[in-house]
Amino acid sequence: MTLNQILEQLKLAGYKATATRTLILETLIKNHELILSADEIYLMVKLENAKINRSTVYRNLEILSEENLLYKTITDQGVTKVKLRCCDKHHHHLICDRCGKIVVFDQCASDLYREFAQGHGFLLTGHTLELHGICKNCQLLERV
């Protein structure tokens, strides 16, 4: 999704394209290959504009979440991290639990899931699958 598409969706929901909101979205778009905690996003936004306060960033993330624009995960350390939702076809994510690096995994064993569910008398209506790990860079850092 482009910045304009997101701003347009927010506008329809009654949220104006304020400078802060735009800056937060630009930060998320620029870092689309990372999944970030609210605090990490706050620190990045603050580098661009030191006057922005934490609660404004948190509130904006809540709005994006309410508008279903965020993909969320919880790391192995229990931290909630978010990224802008990708809007192309069905796919899964491989996530580094240290730095938040994301790799798109566009294969899906949906036939296998459907058969499994059917075997238990279920009509499968959806699934979530997320692969977690530690990326090459983070493995090297941890060895030091």
Binding of residue 34 to Zn ion (CB under 5 A): no
Contact 10, 63 (CB under 8 A): yes
- For residues 34 and 73, give the distance between their C-alpha atoms in angstroms, rounded to a whole number: 12
Can you tell me which of 98, 114, 117, 133 binds Zn ion, judged by CB under 5 A? 98
Can you tell me which of 1, 79, 94, 108 binds Zn ion, judged by CB under 5 A? 108
Q: Is 121 left (phi over 0), alpha (psi -120 to 50) or beta?
A: left
Task: Report the amino acid identity of residue 80.
Answer: T
Binding of residue 85 to Zn ion (CB under 5 A): no
Binding of residue 94 to Zn ion (CB under 5 A): no
Can you tell me which of 1, 23, 63, 99 binds Zn ion, judged by CB under 5 A? 99
Contact 92, 32 (CB under 8 A): no
Q: Which residues of this protein are in contact with Zn ion, per CB under 5 A?
A: 96, 98-99, 101, 108, 135, 138
